């Protein structure tokens, strides 16, 4: 009775009593050795861990619903699309091959039917020539078929090489842009030059407007003063135009001595862009 009461009070004893395999075996009234106790406890722990793992797996299967990841879905869609394209390409090639074979068969039948002359009596020499010609045509057709097959293989190889070369060039271009951040292409340089020309024309027009406004506001005192002002304005305008033209010539890459070289390359560009009007060209001595 005392033993039953102790068992009821202690949960571990209740568990041991519930599992007969875990009961402490009686060994003729002697206690277990440490090694035996350790081995028995290890077996109990292994059984408990296995049971716990099985319950966790069962619970995980009930709670976790396996789903398809977005990257897996995209990969599957890509593979399906590639398979469809490959199937369509294969069907087209097979249809083309069937049409080609049918055309060759019709041509061969027509040649074979027309090769042998229909005569009442065929001599041995004529039959031998016809047979020889037929064999030659068959050999030519086999050779042509072999060449077409080699051409298709060569075309496929060229396409593969082209893809590899395009990828290599794209990679090289990307590395070049990363290494040379300030690199400008020819198109970029042309756009920059056009922008500079447009800015120059805008600034020149503004200066002309300001000069015209100042001239209108100033009073004119007599013919001598008018003549003096006119001469001074002409000289100042020539000097200003010379300075502007020299700056434009330097910007366009003109060599030294451009004033004397009226047919310089930069002048042609300036004339094409209408940077100077006729009066300014006369004052600068350009294009005369």
List, for residues 220-275, the tens digit of each pLDDT value. Answer: 444 556 667 777 777 777 777 677 766 666 665 554 444 444 445 666 666 666 66
Q: Is 259 exposed, middle or buried (0-12, 13-18, 19+ CB in 10 A)?
A: middle
Specify the pLDDT at position 2: 47
Show me where the domains of the chain are located: 2-24+33-60, 104-113+124-177, 188-215+231-284
pLDDT beneath 50: ranges in the chain: 1-2, 5-6, 11, 15, 18, 20-22, 24, 27, 220-222, 255-263, 288
Q: Could you tell me the two tokens for 165?
A: 């070369």
Axis crossing angle, helix 222-251 with helix 265-272, rounded to the nearest 10:
110
Q: Measure the N-to-C terminal CA separation of the chain; round to a whole number of Å.
A: 137
Give the pLDDT confidence of 88-99 residue by residue, as tens digits: 999 999 999 999
pLDDT of residue 270: 64
Q: What confidence tens digit (pLDDT) does each residue in 62-76 have?
A: 765 556 677 888 888
The C-alpha angle with vertex 183 and arms to 255 and 256, in degrees rounded to 5, equals: 5
Q: What is the pLDDT of residue 259?
A: 46
How many whole angstroms separate alpha carbon 39 and alpha carbon 32? 11
**Structure-block tokens of residue 12:** 């571990």
């Amino acid at each position: 009775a005392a033993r039953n009461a102790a068992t009821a009070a202690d949960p571990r004893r209740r568990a041991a009593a519930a599992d007969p395999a875990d009961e402490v075996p009686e060994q003729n009234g002697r206690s277990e050795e440490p090694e035996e106790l350790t081995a028995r406890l290890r077996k109990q722990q292994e059984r408990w861990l296995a049971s716990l793992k099985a319950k966790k797996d069962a619970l995980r299967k009930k709670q976790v619903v396996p789903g398809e990841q977005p990257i897996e879905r995209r990969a599957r869609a890509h593979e399906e699309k590639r398979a469809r394209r490959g199937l369509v390409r294969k069907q087209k090639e097979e249809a083309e091959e069937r049409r080609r074979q049918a055309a060759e068969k019709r041509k061969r039948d027509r040649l074979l039917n027309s090769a042998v002359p229909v005569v009442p009596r065929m001599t041995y020499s004529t039959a031998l020539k016809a047979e020889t010609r037929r064999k030659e045509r068959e050999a030519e057709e086999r050779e042509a078929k072999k060449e077409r097959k080699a051409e298709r293989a060569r075309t496929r190889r060229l396409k593969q090489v082209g893809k590899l070369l395009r990828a290599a060039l794209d990679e090289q271009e990307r590395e070049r842009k990363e290494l040379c951040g300030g690199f400008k292409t020819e198109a970029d340089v042309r756009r920059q030059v056009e922008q500079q020309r447009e800015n120059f024309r805008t600034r020149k027009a503004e200066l002309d407007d300001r000069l015209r406004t100042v001239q209108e506001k100033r009073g004119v005192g007599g013919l001598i003063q008018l003549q003096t002002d006119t001469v001074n304005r002409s000289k100042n305008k020539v000097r200003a135009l010379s300075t502007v033209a020299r700056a434009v010539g330097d910007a366009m890459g003109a060599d030294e001595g451009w004033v004397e070289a009226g047919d310089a390359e930069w002048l042609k560009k300036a004339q094409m862009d209408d940077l100077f009007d006729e009066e300014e060209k006369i004052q600068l001595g350009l294009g005369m």
